[in-house]
Structure 1
Amino acid sequence: MDAPARILVVDDEESIRALLAFPLRRDGHEVLTATTGPEALEQFERGQPDLVLLDVMLPGLDGVAVCRALRERSAVPIIMLSARGEEGDRVAGLEAGADDYVTKPFSVRELRSRVRAALRRAALPAARPGATPPIEIGDVVIDADRRRVVVRGEEVELTHLEFELLVTLAQAPGRVFTRDMLLERAWGGSAYRERRTVDVHVLHLREKLERNPKAPEHIITVRGLGYRFRDP
């Protein structure tokens, strides 16, 4: 069984908060709740949760703004909640730094699966320093053991998913990965997930790695297929 975690649930509807909290508590997690954007930020500072479930539509400060504020101070996993069909909200959440999203109405099985996957990624232990040689391709150095990435001599900070996505691509330079393959490798499965999720995270990676994100040298789009990392 996975180790219990502290999870912050943010939604202004009491019924949704209860529906989210029940299976999480049943799995042994401690659940904190908030109903507004400002309260979510306050609860985050006070409770230091291990994961945040964050609704897009919130009073006071919407979920996208809250996500952006949290991402400025922490790499904690953030799963956004949005109504089915509101693709714009989901994309906005991912672009603000969310790791994943769940659409309403959601199944308890799906929710628990997403939470478990996010917590496992965040809890990945660092291997023994020096056990695996760093990956060096061009001006990018990836130290998988220490989960550090250096680009042109400067260390860059990546979220858990950005790092997993980068390592997946860089460990097999030149190999083309479809979006479904990347969802399986980095997110732990493609079920319930849209391929657009990969595109948004690749965009974030390019902003952090490339000299010119609009003309990428490292993460190359293979039209109609997916992505590959540049050859050594």
Structure 2
Amino acid sequence: MNGNILFIEDDSDIRKVISTALEDEGFVIHQFPTGELALEAFPKIEIDLALIDLRLPGISGLEVVRRLRSITTAPLVILTAFGDSYDVVAGLEAGADDFLGKPIATKELSARLRAILRRTMVQVGEMPEVEDIIFGPMVLYPLRREAIINEIAVELTNTEFMVLVALARISPNAATRQDLLEQVWGYDYLGDSRLVDMQIYRLRGKLEPYGLKNNLVTVRGHGFKLVL
């Protein structure tokens, strides 16, 4: 499954190599050297995913993530130097859904992006367990990717919605971080538990106005569960 990718990278050589490789794999690439140019063009293009280098001139990659997160639910993937824990945490806090370390082989990058798109662009006929989920005052509609609480639509990113669905389906049982990494980020994903922790943190913030923040419970030494 391919898609439209917004790619922001200031290094022209890296940008050309990655863009060409992804286009050869069937992706449509909208490439920009700066966050300013990307944000200016964003309203005029359709994207399924954004790939953002954090170390950009001018507007930082973190600020680009924040601004994009405020206007789109599409997956935001940050590119960071391997081992740069600060960048990873800061990027996730800014609103990124996932991160990839640099340098990365183009074949691996293509496979990872395709996996991310597969979970957010899954077709109706391919989606298992498509029944609507009623959980107290909340109704989740997997096919529409929509959450309703007390008849009010809750604005969630695709990743936040998928985490919520995964927990609601097994409630009152708990899911480990690895369970969620496999179900939400993909079975072949060698994930980082910080991805899960940040999504849980953001979900609690989204649920708080509806009085459901404390219904998303941390099970010490195990993971998380959703309770009534």
Q: Please report the TM-score for the alignment, with normalisation by the length of structure 2.
A: 0.89
Please give the alpha-carbon distance, in whole angstroms, between the structure 2 residues aligned to 1:151 and 1:185: 23
Q: Determine which of 214, 217, 223 is the counterpart of 1:217.
A: 214
Give the ranges of 4+ consecutive aligned residues of structure 1 lying more than 6 Å apart after TM superposition. none
- CA contact under 8 A between 1:64 and 1:96: conserved in structure 2? yes
Computed over aligned residues only, the root mean square deviation of the Cα atoms, in angstroms, reads 2.2
The number of residue pairs the alignment matches comes to 225
- 3-state SS in 2 of match to 1:54: strand
Structure 1 residues 190 and 220: alpha-carbon distance in aligned structure 2, compared to 1, 3 A threshold: farther
Give runs of aligned pairs for residues 47-126 of structure 1, distance below 5 A.
47-126=45-124
Give how far 1:133 is off. 4.9
What amino acid is the match of 2:145?
R
Aligned residue number for residue 174 of structure 1: 172
The answer to whether 1:163 aligns with 2:161 is yes
**TM-fit CA distance, 1:24:** 0.8
Aligned AA (1:204): R
Between Structure 1 and Structure 2, the one with more helix by share is 2
Quick check: 2:205–2:213 contact (8 Å CA) kept in 1?
no
Q: Which amino acid aligns with 1:217?
A: N
**Residue type of the partner of 2:191?**
R
Cα distance 1:223–1:123, how it changes in 2: closer, same or farther (>3 A)?
same
Structure 1 unaligned segments of length 5 or more: list them: none
Give the Cα–Cα distance (whole angstroms) in 1 for the partners of residues 11 and 37 of structure 2. 14
Preserved contact between residue 126 and residue 147 of structure 1 (Cα < 8 Å):
no
Shift of 1:78: 1.4
The normalised TM-score by structure 1 is 0.88
Taking the aligned partners of 2:114 and 2:130, their CA distance within structure 1 comes to: 27
Q: Corresponding residue for 1:228?
A: 225
Deviation (angstroms), 1:50: 2.2
Whole-angstrom distance in 2 between the partners of 1:36 and 1:84: 22
- Which residue matches 1:25? 23
Percent of aligned positions with the same letter in both sequences? 38
| Contact 1:180–1:190, Cα closer than 8 Å, also in 2 | no
Give the CA deviation at 1:43.
2.9
Distance 1:142 1:189 in 2: 23
Aligned mates of 1:8, 1:146 — CA distance in 2: 24
